[in-house]
């Protein structure tokens, strides 16, 4: 997302707030303008969504949508750092809005207190430039990918379990595989247990959620190289990271090897 945007005027407060970005050669004033003009949707305000949302808001992404149908519970607080004990029982998207506005009042937060579903997904995602999927179930992941491919929207998807996480940026319009190219079918029942079933070390979603935010910021500003056509896998237990090259599937039911969404 490197196209020029209309000039954005920053207040003196904003210039001081984003000073460390503006002096970065790869971001600068133009990159910060792109961040302010950007519209990013985050699916899930839980373990991955919490740190991703925190860093997107702190970075000055102008409009941030967040969709989730869950409420804050005590068991969330071991890892979902955006929420507080005082907000237990509050819808996560409203808790997120409250927390993000406290961090940066210069960004607009759009909370959607519902589950992403087939009836509304296309209308919702069409209103954003980039989607971050931090959901915890395969139905939502596949739906987000389907809609992003159909609309030509880039998708940063992260997933975690126990001590390990993975992240990639799927953008079939730009010639990369889509999520369904890599995972054509959901795993058999029991092979990919949820965090509630298998547990998760509390800091792991912080690492992967922050990585998701980094990929979003790079994509928006045009800095560096994003994880297109690559998957980064992080093993927290042994402190190891590795990358895998991803390829399109000509028989992919969603993007047809890149023909859909191009």
Residue 78 lies in a domain: yes
**Burial call 14-33: b when 16+ CB within 10 Å, e when fewer:** beebbeebbeeeebeebbbb
What is the residue range of 125's domain?
12-258
**pTM given for the model:** 0.94
C-alpha pair distances (Å), 79 with each of 49, 84, 88, 198: 11, 11, 14, 15
Report yes or no on 43 lying in a domain: yes
pLDDT, residue 256, reads 85
Q: What is the DSSP string of 3-32?
A: ---------HHHHHHTHHHHTSTTTHHHHH
Consecutive 10-residue averages of pLDDT for the chain (262 residues): 67 96 97 98 98 98 98 97 98 98 98 96 98 95 97 97 97 94 87 80 97 98 97 97 95 82 56
Question: Do the domain assignments include residue 54?
Answer: yes
Report the alpha-carbon distance of residue 237 to residue 75 in Å, rounded.
22
3-state helix, strand, coil in the chain (%, to 5): 40, 20, 40
Number of domains in the chain: 1
pLDDT at residue 18 in the model: 98
Say if residues 115 and 140 touch (Cβ distance below 8 Å). yes
CATH number of the domain to which 36 belongs: 3.40.50.720
Residue 1 included in any domain: no
Does residue 4 lie in a domain region?
no
190 occurs within a structural domain: yes
Check residue 195 and give its pLDDT: 78
pLDDT of residue 77: 97
CA–chain centroid gap for 169, Å, is 9
Q: Answer yes or no: is 186 within a domain.
A: yes
Q: What is the pLDDT of residue 4?
A: 54
pLDDT given at position 38 = 98
Residue 101's CB: how many other CB atoms inside 10 A?
A: 14
pLDDT at res. 193: 75
Distance CA 254, CA 260 (A): 7
6 belongs to a structural domain:
no
Query: What pLDDT was estimated at residue 134?
Result: 96
């Amino acid at each position: 997302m490197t196209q020029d945007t209309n000039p954005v005027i920053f207040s003196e407060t904003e210039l001081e707030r984003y000073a460390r970005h503006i002096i970065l050669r790869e971001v600068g004033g133009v990159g910060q303008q792109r961040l302010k003009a950007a519209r990013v949707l985050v699916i899930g305000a839980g373990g991955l969504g919490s740190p991703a949302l925190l860093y997107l808001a702190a970075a000055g992404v102008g409009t941030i949508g967040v969709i989730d149908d869950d409420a804050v519970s005590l068991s969330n607080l071991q890892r979902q750092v955006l929420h507080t004990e005082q907000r237990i029982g509050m819808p996560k998207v409203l808790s997120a809005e409250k927390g993000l506005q406290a961090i940066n009042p210069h960004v607009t937060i759009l909370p959607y207190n519902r589950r992403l579903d087939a009836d509304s997904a296309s209308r919702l995602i069409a209103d954003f430039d980039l989607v971050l999927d931090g959901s915890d179930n395969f139905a939502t992941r596949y739906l987000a990918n389907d809609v992003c491919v159909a609309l030509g929207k880039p998708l940063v998807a992260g997933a975690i379990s126990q001590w390990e996480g993975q992240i990639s940026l799927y953008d079939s319009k730009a010639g990369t595989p889509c999520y369904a190219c890599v995972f054509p079918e959901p795993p058999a029942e029991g092979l990919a247990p949820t965090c509630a079933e298998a547990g998760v070390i509390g800091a792991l979603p912080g690492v992967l959620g922050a990585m998701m935010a980094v990929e979003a910021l790079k994509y928006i500003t045009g800095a560096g190289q994003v994880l297109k056509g690559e998957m980064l896998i992080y093993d927290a237990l042994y402190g190891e990271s590795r990358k895998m090259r991803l390829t399109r599937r000509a028989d992919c039911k969603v993007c047809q090897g890149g023909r859909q969404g191009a």
